[in-house]
Structure 1
Amino acid sequence: MKMTSPSDLAELGTYFGYAPTALLERSPWFRQGEALFAGGFVPAPSLLKVRARLTPEGGGDVRVPLR
């Protein structure tokens, strides 16, 4: 997701060596829904865009009966 701090990006590069520096450096310009995926769950580091959600926003209060 979007990261703008140069020191945070450098630290991420240290911990996540499988994410190329060139891709990490692009993250300050990510727009909403854009992300960098890297690691064992993708074949290669990839920039991607997440589509709109399919389900309606949930949540709400649950009624609790008074005793």
Structure 2
Amino acid sequence: MADKKQIKDPVTSDSDEVDAFMKPSKVCEVTTLSEPTIRRKEKLGEFPRRHALSEARFGYRTSEVKAWMESRKRA
């Protein structure tokens, strides 16, 4: 049987190897904000912008969400 590599959680991982994208539902989970609140803050420039991954799919860069969360700790 082939060895399976462990996939690290993009939010808790300290690895800077890959700047993964998070689904909106994951962003809601880690920030405890609702999707409408995130969209509102995004439009006001108070939250990282989403990135189009395909025509119907978008995500948020993990590094940008982490940076936003760190900035909130200092606020």
TM-score by length of 1: 0.28
**Which structure has more RCO (C-alpha within 8 Å, separation ≥ 6)?**
2
Q: Looking at CA atoms only, which structure, 1 or 2, has the larger radius of gyration? A: 1
Is the helix fraction higher in 1 or 2?
Answer: 2
Task: Give the structure-2-normalised TM-score.
Answer: 0.26
